[in-house]
Amino acid sequence: MPEKTTTTLSFKRLRETKNTVRFEEDTPPGKPPVIGTIYIQKWFIGDAQNVTLTLEAK
């Protein structure tokens, strides 16, 4: 059975659209992004400037 891989990614607020907020992955220098950008609904995220996302690959 393959191992589980878990990683935590940080995102910073980039800009707002009509109903969503776009966040850009904050990657260390020299390392490529895992996701890149994500869009989160305004009703959920509110005025948050940063988001942390934990991924688990099974």
* Global pTM value: 0.84
Tokens, residue 16: 């707002």
SS3 43: helix
Per residue of the chain (58 residues), give pLDDT as tens. Answer: 567 799 999 999 999 999 999 999 999 999 999 999 999 999 999 999 999 999 998 8
User: In this predicted structure, what is the pLDDT of residue 3?
Assistant: 74
The CA distances from residue 58 to 1, 5, 17, 20, 31, in Å, are: 9, 7, 33, 29, 23
